């Protein structure tokens, strides 16, 4: 069930990354949608690791991705933002 939430978050993030939904960008100062993508990816990876018989240390890899994804709602490095976002006038690179 939790993977459906992760998939929904990734879908919203993909809409932002592809540029199909740009109205939220506010001049290049908001990273919220991009952060949702990375957080959703972390959630999906955590649910996959928990469903499979893997060593316990493997859990921390997707958990770190989910944590960094949650933090990326506030800031992302320019390399993780799409070209259209970096081209906005107030984009802080």
Once rounded to an integer, what is the mean pLDDT over residues 70-88?
Answer: 86
Model confidence band, residue 93 (pLDDT cutoffs 50, 70, 90): very low
Q: Is residue 78 part of a domain?
A: no
Distance CA 22, CA 19 (A): 6
89 within a domain of the structure (yes/no): no
CB 41 within 8 A of CB 10: yes
Rounded-to-integer distance, Cα 27 and Cα 51, Å: 41
pLDDT tens readout for residues 47-71? 999 999 999 899 999 999 999 988 8
Q: Which residue bears the tokens 């959703």?
A: 40
Residue 27: domain span:
1-59
Q: Is residue 79 part of a domain?
A: no
Model pTM score: 0.83
pLDDT (average), residues 2-30: 86
Asked, for residue 19, whether it belongs to a domain, the answer is yes
Q: Is the pLDDT of residue 9 over 80?
A: yes
Query: What is the per-residue pLDDT across 22-46, written as a single tens digit (0 to 9) for each?
Result: 888 876 667 888 889 999 999 999 9
Number of domains comprising the chain: 1
Would you state the pLDDT for residue 44?
Answer: 94
> How high is the pLDDT of residue 48?
93
Among residues 73, 13, 59, the alpha carbon closest in space to that of 40 is found at: 13
Q: Are 36 and 66 in contact (CB under 8 A)?
A: no
């Amino acid at each position: 069930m939790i993977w459906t939430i992760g998939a929904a978050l990734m879908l919203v993030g993909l809409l932002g990354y592809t540029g199909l939904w740009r109205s939220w960008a506010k001049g290049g100062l908001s990273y919220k949608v991009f952060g949702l993508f990375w957080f959703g990816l972390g959630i999906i990876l955590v649910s996959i690791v928990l469903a499979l018989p893997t060593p316990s240390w493997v859990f921390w890899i997707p958990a770190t991705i989910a944590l960094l994804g949650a933090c990326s709602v506030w800031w992302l490095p320019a390399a993780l933002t799409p070209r259209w976002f970096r081209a906005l006038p107030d984009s802080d690179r």
